[in-house]
Amino acid sequence: MIREILVTFYLFVFSAVFNICKLFPLQNKVTFVVSFSENNKSIYKEMIRQDFSCRTLFLTTEKMYGVFSKFEKATTLLFEMKKPLDFMRSIYHLATSKVILVDNYYGFLAKSEFKPGVDCIQLWHANGAIKKFGLKDPSVESRSSRAKGRFKAVYDRFTRVVVGSEAMAEIFRGAFGVTEDRLLRTGIPRTDVFFDQTAQLRAKSKLYKKFPFLKEKKVLLYAPTYRENQLSSAEIKLNLKKLALQFEDEYILLLKLHPAVKNDLCIPAELSHFAYDFSGWHQLNELLFISDMLITDYSSVPFEYSLLNRPIIFFWYDLGQYEKERGIWENFMSLLPGPVAHTSEEVAAYISRMKADHESTHLFSSKWNEYSKGESSRNILDYIRKKID
């Protein structure tokens, strides 16, 4: 009840300001609404590369503000009510931009009656999906009719949805209720760097220079998704002590929590030589490049990591509960590119004898990265140009 009251108040304020700002004419502006970095940064870098002369804005969360405020040729605003001036300016730009790109579910879209000719492009932050989301999220059934109507209104606002494969297109049709004519088959921008060896070497060199110890041993990366009941405090179910005892001579372990989780992780002093918290490192792709093996769960990280053709372990310690509460897309487990572990002991066993299953990984990557061939940012910018020119 309290949640619905707060949402209603927020949308009332947004709607009032948005409708006033709509009185101003549309401008040749591209506005990104940002919760994640990689897709948006990839497109912006392509804009700079092509000298795309159009005003560009980033409306960000607090976590992302520092990442995008470094771009001197763009305007970055903190799109949160605790910064009233930035919040009002953000709404103005949303009401007057010809092209808007969003990378997540944003409730304000339910009250964003854009003018004719405005394109609102959903640039979803993942290029594949294990867990269900959108209208297919099992938790939607227990929400109020008002909330369900709001969800539908948000998804109806997308004029285009960027997809990287027919597999993901099918998922978006169910999750967002979008029709075929709203799908934009450009590939996913965040994957472009996986086809650029020079950029990968540059990213690795940056990390090695800042953290020389990363070069001393092989790297395990543990990158789990979030759980709704663990957002306010980090919980690591992987037994770090056990892994350290078995693998500290050969490996180090990097922990990368989901951005939605409050990062209050405290690694015990006796494990500080083995486990390192890299949750504050926003460029996930850079961590993937230096990792020799990925341990994850229901996260979307494997879809990009499979492009590197390296070993992946799925640590599904709570599969039954997670499937019941969040849901897993049908038939997903039939094409996994790596083994499933249910305990830390099983994870350790797989690490000990792990080698990349190149055939399975290739099939997995081919399915989910069908349209992602290294030119996705350029493809999307070509589309934006047609809308701005």
Region 117-129: what's the mean pLDDT? 95
| Shared-domain flag, residues 46 and 183 | yes
| Shared-domain flag, residues 249 and 169 | no
Burial of 113 (0-12, 13-18, 19+ CB in 10 A): middle
Q: How far apart are the first and last CA of the chain?
A: 46
Region 6-22: what's the mean pLDDT? 95
Tell me the CATH number at 153.
3.40.50.11820
| Shared-domain flag, residues 31 and 74 | yes
Residues linked to residue 185 through DSSP beta bridges, in sequence order:
163
Rounded Cα–Cα distance for residues 308 and 304 (Å): 8
The confidence score (pLDDT) of residue 258 equals: 83
The confidence score (pLDDT) of residue 330 equals: 78
Who's near 86: CB < 8 A, 6+ residues apart?
77, 78, 79, 80
The confidence score (pLDDT) of residue 335 equals: 79
Residue in 39, 92, 94, 96 with CA at minimum distance from that of residue 68: 39
**Rounded to 5, what percent of the chain is helix, strand, coil?**
50, 15, 35
**pLDDT, averaged across the chain:** 93
Domain that residue 88 falls in: 2-188+373-388
Q: HSE, CB side, 13 Å, CA atoms: give it for residue 248.
A: 12
| Shared-domain flag, residues 176 and 223 | no
Instruction: Give the confidence band of 380 by pLDDT, cuts at 50, 70, 90.
Output: very high
Q: Indicate the pTM of the whole model.
A: 0.92
The confidence score (pLDDT) of residue 263 equals: 65
Tell me the CATH number at 362.
3.40.50.12580
Residues linked to residue 160 through DSSP beta bridges, in sequence order:
121
Instruction: Give the confidence band of 266 by pLDDT, cuts at 50, 70, 90.
Output: confident
pLDDT at 228 over 70: no
| Shared-domain flag, residues 204 and 172 | no
Q: Which amino acid is at 254?
A: L
13-23 as b/e: b if 16+ CB within 10 A: bbbebbeebbe
Who's near 225: CB < 8 A, 6+ residues apart?
131, 258, 296, 297, 298, 299, 300
Region 146-167: what's the mean pLDDT? 96
Using one digit for the tens of pLDDT, what is the confidence trace for 23-82? Answer: 999 999 999 999 999 999 999 999 999 999 899 999 999 989 999 999 989 999 999 999
The confidence score (pLDDT) of residue 95 equals: 98
pLDDT at 136 over 70: yes
The confidence score (pLDDT) of residue 60 equals: 98
The confidence score (pLDDT) of residue 325 equals: 83
Rounded Cα–Cα distance for residues 268 and 291 (Å): 22
Using one digit for the tens of pLDDT, what is the confidence trace for 346-377? Answer: 999 999 988 777 888 999 999 999 999 999 99
pLDDT at 233 over 80: no
Number of domains observed in the structure of the chain: 2
pLDDT at 5 over 90: no
| Shared-domain flag, residues 315 and 359 | yes
Report residue 55 as tokens: 């005003």
Using one digit for the tens of pLDDT, what is the confidence trace for 83-118? Answer: 999 999 999 999 999 999 999 999 999 999 999 999
| Shared-domain flag, residues 53 and 173 | yes
Of the segments 210-224, 234-248, 310-324, which one has the largest average pLDDT value? 210-224
| Shared-domain flag, residues 143 and 269 | no
Rounded Cα–Cα distance for residues 340 and 178 (Å): 32
Output the CA torsion sign for 69, 75, 80, 82.
positive
Using one digit for the tens of pLDDT, what is the confidence trace for 164-199? Answer: 999 999 999 999 999 999 999 999 999 999 999 999
Q: HSE, CB side, 13 Å, CA atoms: give it for residue 124.
A: 26
The confidence score (pLDDT) of residue 225 equals: 87
The confidence score (pLDDT) of residue 65 equals: 96
Instruction: Give the confidence band of 230 by pLDDT, cuts at 50, 70, 90.
Output: low
The confidence score (pLDDT) of residue 229 equals: 63
Region 251-275: what's the mean pLDDT? 87
More confident residue, 265 or 248: 248
Output the CA torsion sign for 226, 230, 234, 236.
negative
| Shared-domain flag, residues 22 and 130 | yes
| Shared-domain flag, residues 171 and 200 | no
| Shared-domain flag, residues 64 and 212 | no
pLDDT at 244 over 70: yes
**Residue-by-residue DSSP string for 229-294:** GGTTS----S-HHHHHHHHTTTEEEEE---TTS-------GGGTTTEEE-TT---HHHHHHH-SEE
| Shared-domain flag, residues 177 and 298 | no
